[in-house]
Amino acid sequence: MENTANQYLHEVATTAIIIKDGKYLITRRSKNKKRFPGVWTVPGGKMETSDYLKLPKDTEFYWYNVLERTLKREVAEEVGIEITNVQYLTSLATVHADGSPSLVISCIADYVSGEVKLQEEETDAFAWVSSEEAKSYEMIDGILDEFLMIDQLKKGIREEWKRH
């Protein structure tokens, strides 16, 4: 059932495909998660108003780099590493089984430092994988196609998301 109470109210989340030594970080969602338990994904999370309201505005009216700041916070919380060079890759929208609509902004980011340390209530395993290696993991649908987009970007080919 779709939530039509407010057509403009969406949960906004951002995810990071983190690149380190040519490989991508994937994590397995904890079995107790409501959405996609035990399935492999990439780090990320929901934007919160605290990601900007407590900060000074960058211009008279706006806060900039809000998604980037949210993503850096979420990655640090979930997997304990620092990232940089956050760049937009693609976006997706869904309406979850509970009726709540979500907009997810998928980004690419470079690994900076830190050892992966999992936030146990969120994830229970991790791996650094190539696109080819990722094929052997049960991943949330669409993420492998995002990895393949990045493989194309590395060759100088920019394309929108598509099923590969």
What's residue 42's pLDDT? 98
- Look up the domain containing 47 and give its range: 11-154
Q: How far is CA 22 from CA 60, 102, 108, 145, in A?
A: 40, 30, 12, 16
Residue 164 lies in a domain: no
Residue 54 lies in a domain: yes
Q: How many domains does the chain have?
A: 1
Average pLDDT rounded to a whole number, residues 94-101: 87
If one compares 5 and 80, the residue with the highest pLDDT of the two is 80
Q: What's the CATH number where 39 sits?
A: 3.90.79.10
In 3D space, the residue among 45, 41, 69 whose CA is nearest the CA of residue 55 turns out to be 69
pLDDT digits (tens, 9 = 90+) for 22-36: 999 999 999 988 889
Does the structure show a pLDDT above 60 at 83?
Answer: yes
